[in-house]
Amino acid sequence: MALGALLVACSGGEHPTPQGAHGATEAAADDRATVVCFGTSLTAGLGLDPDDAYPALVQQRIDSAGLSYRVVNAGVSGATSADGLRRIDWVLREPLAVFVLELGANDALRGLDPAVTRSALSDILTRLKARNIAVMLCGMMAPPNYGRDYAERFNAIYPDLAKSFGVPLYPFFLDGVAADAKLNQADGIHPTPQGVDIIVNNIMPTVEAFLGPLRGQQP
C-alpha cells in the first residue's frame, strides 16, 4: 500500500510530503493492518527527528507487544480541525484499519469557536465510522487564559463526541507534559523527545487496550 507517512504550530496545513516511507514496492509487501495517526504538529513531531515523533515510538511499542500493525504518521503542522476535515478524504483514498485522531490544539491556541471545532471533528468521525474504521480519539484542553466559559465549552467536545460515536477516548494528549518547560522545546508548546516519551508511556495502555481486540478483525 502506498499510503506513506502523510503527515501546536500555527503555520499552514498543506498536503504533507512522504516521511518514513520507503516507496510503494516496500509498502505493498507489508501486509500488516495500517494505523493512521492523524493530527497536528504534535503528531508530525515538529522540531524532532522523525524517529522521535510519537507515531514512531508507538510503532516500537506495538511491535514489542506483538501487535501486527503498521503505524503511519499523518500529522500536519498548523492543522486545525477544519483543516483535518478538508484533507480526510485524501487520506481515506487508501485502505486503513485504525485511525488515531489528534486535532484541536491549534483551534484552542487560536481561540476558535468551540462549535466549529466540534462540528469538524464530528464530521471526521462520521466519515470514519461510515467506512467501519476503528477510531481512537485524543482529547485536548483549552489554554487557561481564555477563561472558564471557553474552557468548559472546548474541553467538553472530546468526551461528548467519544460518547456520541462510541469511540475510546484518551482524555488529554499532553497529560504530564503541557506547561512543563523541561519537557517542551523553546516555544513552550512542542514536546522534546523526553516529553514525547512521557506521552507515549501514558497513552500506550489505552492504545494497546484499543488495538488488542481488533487483531481478530484484521483482514
Domain of 112, CATH number, reads 3.40.50.1110
Residue 18 lies inside a defined structural domain of this protein: no
- What pLDDT shows up at residue 212? 81
Residue 38 lies inside a defined structural domain of this protein: yes
How many helices (H) and strands (E) would you count in the chain?
9, 5
Indicate if the pLDDT at residue 61 is higher than 90: yes
Q: For the segment 106-132, what is each residue's pLDDT rounded down to a tens digit?
A: 999 999 999 999 999 999 999 999 999
Over the chain, what is the mean pLDDT? 87
Indicate if the pLDDT at residue 185 is higher than 80: yes
Q: Give catalytic status of residue 187 as yes or no.
A: yes
Check 64, 77, 187, 197 and give the catalytic one: 187
SS3 93: coil
Q: Give catalytic status of residue 41 as yes or no.
A: yes
Q: For the segment 159-170, what is each residue's pLDDT rounded down to a tens digit?
A: 999 999 999 999
Comparison of pLDDT for 26 and 186, the residue scoring more = 186
Check 81, 83, 107, 190 and give the catalytic one: 190
Q: Per-residue pLDDT averaged across 184-197, rounded?
A: 97
Predicted confidence band at 10 (pLDDT cuts at 50, 70, 90)? very low
- What pLDDT shows up at residue 213? 79
- The enclosing H or E element of 87 equals helix 81-91
Note the pTM of the prediction, 2 decimals.
0.85
Running DSSP on this structure, what letter comes out for residue 139? P
Indicate if the pLDDT at residue 3 is higher than 90: no
- What pLDDT shows up at residue 21? 38
Residue 14 lies inside a defined structural domain of this protein: no
Residue 66 lies inside a defined structural domain of this protein: yes
Instruction: Please tell me the total count of domains within the chain.
Output: 1
Q: Which residue has the cell 495502555?
A: 205
Residue 205 lies inside a defined structural domain of this protein: yes
Which letter, b or e, does each residue of 183-217 get, where b requires 16 or more Cβ atoms within 10 Å of its Cβ?
bbeeeebbbbbebbbbbbebbbebbeebbeeeeee
Print the domain residue range for 168: 24-210
Check 22, 31, 41, 52 and give the catalytic one: 41
- What pLDDT shows up at residue 59? 97
Indicate if the pLDDT at residue 13 is higher than 50: no
Residue 19 lies inside a defined structural domain of this protein: no
Torsion angle, CA of 14/15/18/20, rounded to 10 degrees? 70
Residue 5 lies inside a defined structural domain of this protein: no
Indicate if the pLDDT at residue 147 is higher than 70: yes
Q: Are 75 and 40 in contact (CB under 8 A)?
A: yes
Show the cell assigned to 132: 467501519
* CA-closest candidate to residue 138, choices 108, 116, 167, 118: 167
Q: Per-residue pLDDT averaged across 60-77, rounded?
A: 95
Q: For the segment 169-183, what is each residue's pLDDT rounded down to a tens digit?
A: 999 999 999 999 999
Q: What are phi and psi of 182, to 5 degrees?
A: -70, -20
CA–CA gap between residue 104 and residue 123 (Å, rounded): 14
Predicted confidence band at 31 (pLDDT cuts at 50, 70, 90)? confident
Q: Give catalytic status of residue 15 as yes or no.
A: no
Residue 218 lies inside a defined structural domain of this protein: no
Q: Are 56 and 119 in contact (CB under 8 A)?
A: no
